[in-house]
């Protein structure tokens, strides 16, 4: 170490090796504190990453793969531009329900695990005067889980677009808007559609 170096006096009479030693000790203790701070920060980030990776998002709704094989509940048409919902929902829509949701249509109370899908497609006017369905506009999904979605009547809401069909797009504010609209049908467990035998 530098302690064995010859002592040459500095200004003020402090030997140079002592000044170097004090300086190195100060630098070393400062470096140790900085390393300790960095290690603590990294530990906090690592723990946060582990917690986030192991804790699923409580509100997440996945795209309902295979929904076209479920029960087709009904179809509807909004083709008048004067309709207040035309901008968002103009076109032909098909509603599909999984088996749990079919119980809800029978009992008017949908059990947890019920999933409803609103599949909206563009309209295409044909040269022969007929109207056909065109490309998909979006897929809206309702999932019943009384605990996860207690604040929104027991239903969670999500919307998926063709440009990225697995990416959920609704903000919490938009989900709350969906819930507010469906509240008008609270006596029917927040569901607009009926199943016709």
Q: Which long-range contacts (CB under 8 A, 24 or more apart) does 157-163 make?
A: 157/61, 158/61, 160/63, 161/137, 162/135, 162/136, 162/137, 162/138
Cα(1)–Cα(5) distance, rounded to whole angstroms? Answer: 8
**pLDDT value at residue 132:** 92
CA distance 45 to 43: 5
Q: What pLDDT digit, counting tens, does each position of 76-120 carry?
A: 999 999 999 999 999 999 999 999 999 999 998 999 999 999 999
21 φ/ψ angles, rounded to the nearest 5 degrees: -60, -45
From CA 98, how far away is CA 5, in angstroms rounded?
84
Give the span between the Cα atoms of 52 and 59, in whole angstroms: 14
Confidence class of residue 57 from pLDDT cuts 50, 70 and 90? very low
- pLDDT band per the 50, 70, 90 thresholds, residue 192: confident
- Mean residue pLDDT of the chain comes to 77
Stronger pLDDT, 8 or 57, i.e. the higher one: 8
Q: Which residue's entry shows tokens 């630098």?
A: 27
Q: Would you list the domain boundaries of the chain?
A: 2-54, 67-188
The pLDDT-based confidence of 64 (bands split at 50, 70, 90) is very high
Q: Which CATH superfamily does the domain covering 67-188 fall into?
A: Cytochrome P460 (3.50.70.20)
Compute the distance between CA of residue 15 and CA of residue 68 in angstroms, rounded to an integer. Answer: 86
Strand partners, 76: 93
**pLDDT above 70 covers what percent of the chain?**
70
Flag whether pLDDT at 29 surpasses 70: no
Mean pLDDT (whole number) for 158-184: 87
pLDDT of 46 > 80? The answer is no
């Amino acid at each position: 170490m530098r302690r064995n170096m010859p002592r040459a006096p500095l200004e003020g009479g402090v030997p140079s090796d002592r000044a170097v030693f004090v300086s190195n000790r100060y630098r070393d203790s400062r470096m140790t504190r900085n390393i300790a701070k960095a290690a603590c920060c990294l530990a906090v980030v690592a723990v946060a990453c582990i917690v986030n990776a192991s804790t699923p998002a409580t509100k997440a709704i996945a795209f309902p793969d295979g929904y076209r094989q479920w029960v087709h509940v009904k179809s509807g048409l909004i083709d008048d531009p004067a309709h207040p919902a035309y901008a968002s929902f103009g076109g032909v829509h098909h509603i599909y329900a999984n088996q749990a949701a079919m119980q809800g249509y029978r009992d008017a109370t949908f059990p947890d695990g019920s999933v409803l899908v609103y599949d909206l497609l563009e309209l295409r006017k044909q040269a022969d005067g007929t109207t056909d369905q065109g490309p998909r506009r979006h897929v809206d999904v309702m999932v019943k889980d009384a605990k996860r979605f207690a604040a929104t009547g027991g239903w969670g809401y999500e919307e998926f677009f063709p440009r990225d069909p697995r990416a959920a797009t609704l903000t919490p504010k938009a989900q709350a808007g969906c819930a507010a609209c469906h509240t008008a049908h609270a006596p029917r467990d927040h569901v607009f559609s009926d199943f016709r035998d």
